[in-house]
Structure 1
Amino acid sequence: MSKLKSLREARASVFTQVDELRTAADGREMTVEEQARWNQLLSDYDKADKAVETEERYLDIERRQTEQRVDQPSPPNTQKQEQEYRSAFCDYLLRGGNGISAESRALFEERAGITGLSAGVIVPTTLADSIEIALKAYGGMFEAGTILSTATGGDLIMPTVNNTTAKAVVVPEYNQSTKSAPSFGSEALKAYTYRTPIVPVSMELLQDSSFDLEALLSSLLADSFGRGVNEDLTVGSGTNKPKGIVNWAIASEAKPAAAAITLDDIIDLIKGVDSAYARNGRFMFNRSTLWSLVKIKDSTGRYIWQEGARDGTPPTLFGKNYILNDDIADVGAGNASMLFGDLSKYKIRMVKNFRVIRLNELLAEYLSIGLFGFARVDGILLDAGTHPVHKLVHKSS
């Protein structure tokens, strides 16, 4: 049995226990023991779900790497060249730009596509790829939005046009055609610089030949970068930072209670989005909201949350997939706890790639170097006037 299949079956087993307990307690308050078991099962399911997501990401990465090797056959000495390049990269981290050999310098500059290693350095391609994957797995906005990469950081103008009022009409023969002027507009994507905190790395650690340098940088730098950027792309104010998708979204006509979401609220949220966007629509909410949805039933007594753990298909809500984003607010008074619409209309602009800078002197007295990452990012929801994403905003009281 494959590892992924085993993990999915383990997740399905936990879900079965959740479902059985929920059914057993239907129509009455849970006992203290049942509530404690309920909470434990939800925690177990989260862990099992995370394990499945991790294995699926790994298999997807493995598949893409295999396809790349098939599409671009590697020469026999590729592995040796890769080892030499990694060695040159580690030499630079240990000794700085003036301390590496001429051979290592030539190899590193040729591979990295830069000259003059006197200050910062672009990380190897393999590391940049692993950081990108980590960002997509973090938070939710990099999964939901459309990423645009640009070579420079000047304002990127995104044009919009609204021609939804125009429609064909019957015109009698030899009569003049009607005129309709589309409404043109534009939005500007800027480039806000995000820097991670400086990560100190000791020379002793770098000198350990068995140490996985790439795993360290991916984990420490990408996680801290992802936390800050995902939060702003979700709820940013738009003042000296990106305007988050929650602040771009239009409030639904539904007015859910301060502390709950009903089936009617979700139906009204979906109904408010134009069919052109709802066709590719997805929900976005946090894990806490997900579990509050578990107990909602439709008019026939069926739970609206359709979990696909039994057959390995993605979970859906009214047949629509959802994205978990823990920077979305919880269910609560005045909060926007749920989004629905074509989330791909949110455009995330990144200037070049995520980069890592090496600091030689800052931590020298601690026999350490400092590493930090940075990238320039902005995000907008392209809305030409028909509002591709709506949000569910709870009453204040």
Structure 2
Amino acid sequence: MNFELTDAAPEHKAGFAAPRESYDELRQIFEDFKTANDERLAVIEHKRGDVLLEQKVDRINAALDAQQRRLDDILLRGARPGIGGSRTSRDHAAREHKSAFDAYVRAGDVEALRAFETKAMSVGSNPDGGHLVPPELERTIGARLMAISPIRSIASVREISSSVYKKPFMTAGPATGWVGETDARPQTASPNLDALSFPAMELYAMPAATATLLDDSAVDLDEWIASEVELVFAMQEGAAFVGGDGVNKPKGFLSYPTAANASWSWGNLGYLASGAAGTFAASNPSDTLVDLIYALKAGYRQNGSFVMNRKTQATIRKFKDTTGAYLWQPPAQSGGRATLMTFPVVEAEDMPDVAANALAVAFGDFQRGYLIVDRVGVRVLRDPYSAKPYVLFYTTKRVGGGVQDFDAIKLLKMAAS
């Protein structure tokens, strides 16, 4: 079988391959991978090195990753909702906002947009200027971010209207106890409360357009803006949700203090050691993954997901259980996720590679463990002067994030202990 390591999806007469076709090809490549890897392991057991066989396994492993990317791209195209202003919005105010925003983007006509915002009693400009995009465009950008931003797809997301969201939690609960039907109920101690703060930071993109594009009435500028900013926003968010330092950006879960899980305390993320310095243990390397799963309490574990990058996943893909079955499995259906010991695997390229003391694998209930806050409103500022003859569109949204439950996420550290 010839494996071409290209990112482009295979083309057919009707355009791109259907998700089902790409999914079937992914399953077939995985079967070839298992066969080649079994041959490699048999050679190793007989103490004979086979460079060509090692290279074959690596090629199939890479082809498996490439096919997974193709399938992800196809599914992403299908997840993109249409925007069609007048076709989808029957509300007069929404159509009016759409029309005014279109005039602003195409020709810089701000009067209609200001009149609409004044009539709607909305705050149209922030200190840096700019105007709110129509609601359907904001929803479209949010839906696309959910589809392509790995952590956003599994975390808890909350919309806010202020600059900071504060979530209270109990550091010590109220006194409780059992009493009989006629026993006295003494007054209990009050709970001790604290609050976690999640500030919303500004994320921006600045796509450029030519005068020809803006003059072309057939071009859906809402769709154009959404497609231009979605990937930039997703890349910046993805990096921040994993490793952001919290300075003018969300705080990533890997930026919080860590502690060995045996001595875990609130405010830290617990970690387990892989069993070998900078890698997995030489014998029974998957045991530490089992330990990682059961480091979570049952209430979190049932909704758990693995988070790692592709290189780490390629290493773990070779692991087997005691019966010889592979622990990593491709998606059970088109549109699903690959699984590791029945738990979904989320690919986040901003996770560290397997290296000395790297926190290369995370496992947890991210919906309960990590909170993303989106401030309502995406703004666009039209700038025809800074990069003539191009027109720049300074597009901003405010987003924040951080760990909200330190007991819901566990990490795997590439270390002996």
Q: TM-score under structure 1 normalisation?
A: 0.79
Aligned to 1:52: 71
Q: Judging changes above 3 Å, is the alpha-carbon distance between structure 1 residues 105 and 190 closer, same or farther for their aligned structure 2 residues?
A: closer
Other structure's SS at 2:272 match: coil
Looking at secondary structure, tell me which structure has more helix per residue: 1
| Of 240, 256, 269, the match for 1:250 | 269
C-alpha separation between the residues in 2 aligned to 1:330 and 1:300? 28
C-alpha separation between the residues in 2 aligned to 1:165 and 1:296? 47
C-alpha separation between the residues in 1 aligned to 2:226 and 2:246? 28
Q: Judging changes above 3 Å, is the alpha-carbon distance between structure 1 residues 333 and 166 closer, same or farther for their aligned structure 2 residues?
A: farther
Tell me, which stretches of 5 or more residues in structure 2 are unaligned?
A: 1-13, 257-267
| Of 94, 102, 127, the match for 2:137 | 127
Q: Is 1:26 matched up with 2:41?
A: yes
Residues 114-152 of structure 1: CA deviation (Å, up to 9, x unaligned): 779xx6232333432332233223341211211111112
Question: CA offset at residue 255 of structure 1?
Answer: 4.2
Residues 344-367 of structure 1: CA deviation (Å, up to 9, x unaligned): 12111111133222113223xx22
| Of 317, 334, 344, the match for 2:340 | 317
Question: CA offset at residue 336 of structure 1?
Answer: 0.5
C-alpha separation between the residues in 2 aligned to 1:183 and 1:253? 30
Aligned to 1:395: 415
CA contact (8 A) 1:11 1:309 kept: no
Q: Is 1:94 matched up with 2:109?
A: no
Tell me, which stretches of 5 or more residues in structure 1 are unaligned?
A: 66-71
Q: Judging changes above 3 Å, is the alpha-carbon distance between structure 1 residues 133 and 39 closer, same or farther for their aligned structure 2 residues?
A: farther
Other structure's SS at 2:349 match: coil
Q: Pairwise mapping of residues 360-379 of structure 1 onto structure 2 (< 5 A)?
A: 360-363=384-387, 366-379=388-401
Residues 234-259 of structure 1: CA deviation (Å, up to 9, x unaligned): 11123443221123461323344233
C-alpha separation between the residues in 2 aligned to 1:298 and 1:165? 45
Aligned to 2:366: 343
Aligned to 1:68: none
Q: Judging changes above 3 Å, is the alpha-carbon distance between structure 1 residues 175 and 368 closer, same or farther for their aligned structure 2 residues?
A: closer
C-alpha separation between the residues in 2 aligned to 1:19 and 1:165? 55
| Of 140, 153, 161, the match for 1:151 | 161
C-alpha separation between the residues in 1 aligned to 2:124 and 2:352? 46
| Of 186, 203, 210, the match for 1:202 | 210
C-alpha separation between the residues in 1 aligned to 2:356 and 2:53? 28
C-alpha separation between the residues in 2 aligned to 1:92 and 1:237? 36
CA contact (8 A) 1:139 1:327 kept: no
Aligned to 2:62: 43
Of residues 339-348 and 312-321 in structure 1, the stretch that sits farther from structure 2 once superposed is 312-321
CA contact (8 A) 1:15 1:309 kept: no
Residues 296-343 of structure 1: CA deviation (Å, up to 9, x unaligned): 122232221133357875422222112111111111111111111111
Q: TM-score under structure 2 normalisation?
A: 0.76
Instruction: Letter of the 1:201 partner, please give it.
Output: A
Q: Pairwise mapping of residues 66-105 of structure 1 onto structure 2 (< 5 A)?
A: 89-97=101-109
Q: Judging changes above 3 Å, is the alpha-carbon distance between structure 1 residues 133 and 223 closer, same or farther for their aligned structure 2 residues?
A: same
C-alpha separation between the residues in 2 aligned to 1:113 and 1:254? 53
Instruction: Letter of the 2:414 partner, please give it.
Output: H
CA contact (8 A) 2:300 2:364 kept: yes
Instruction: Letter of the 2:143 partner, please give it.
Output: I
Other structure's SS at 2:29 match: helix
Instruction: Say how many residue pairs are matched.
Output: 378
CA contact (8 A) 2:362 2:411 kept: yes
Other structure's SS at 1:252 match: strand
CA contact (8 A) 2:33 2:57 kept: yes
Q: Judging changes above 3 Å, is the alpha-carbon distance between structure 1 residues 31 and 124 closer, same or farther for their aligned structure 2 residues?
A: farther
C-alpha separation between the residues in 1 aligned to 2:377 and 2:38? 50
Q: Judging changes above 3 Å, is the alpha-carbon distance between structure 1 residues 309 and 12 closer, same or farther for their aligned structure 2 residues?
A: farther
C-alpha separation between the residues in 1 aligned to 2:202 and 2:276? 39
Other structure's SS at 1:147 match: strand
Of residues 185-194 and 258-267 in structure 1, the stretch that sits farther from structure 2 once superposed is 258-267
C-alpha separation between the residues in 1 aligned to 2:165 and 2:204? 21
CA contact (8 A) 2:40 2:54 kept: no
Instruction: Letter of the 1:42 partner, please give it.
Output: N
Q: Judging changes above 3 Å, is the alpha-carbon distance between structure 1 residues 252 and 183 closer, same or farther for their aligned structure 2 residues?
A: farther
Of residues 282-291 and 42-51 in structure 1, the stretch that sits farther from structure 2 once superposed is 42-51
Question: CA offset at residue 225 of structure 1?
Answer: 2.0
C-alpha separation between the residues in 1 aligned to 2:68 and 2:88? 36
Question: CA offset at residue 229 of structure 1?
Answer: 2.2
Question: CA offset at residue 93 of structure 1?
Answer: 2.3
Other structure's SS at 1:26 match: helix
Instruction: Letter of the 2:199 partner, please give it.
Output: K
Of residues 245-254 and 230-239 in structure 1, the stretch that sits farther from structure 2 once superposed is 245-254
Of residues 179-188 and 107-116 in structure 1, the stretch that sits farther from structure 2 once superposed is 107-116
Of residues 239-248 and 321-330 in structure 1, the stretch that sits farther from structure 2 once superposed is 239-248
CA contact (8 A) 1:88 1:108 kept: no
C-alpha separation between the residues in 2 aligned to 1:285 and 1:166? 41
CA contact (8 A) 1:122 1:357 kept: no
Residues 263-295 of structure 1: CA deviation (Å, up to 9, x unaligned): 121122122212221122111111111111011
CA contact (8 A) 2:20 2:334 kept: no
Q: Is 1:382 matched up with 2:404?
A: yes
Other structure's SS at 2:279 match: coil
Of residues 209-218 and 238-247 in structure 1, the stretch that sits farther from structure 2 once superposed is 209-218
Of residues 49-58 and 134-143 in structure 1, the stretch that sits farther from structure 2 once superposed is 49-58
| Of 213, 222, 226, the match for 1:218 | 226
Other structure's SS at 2:345 match: strand
Instruction: Letter of the 2:137 partner, please give it.
Output: L
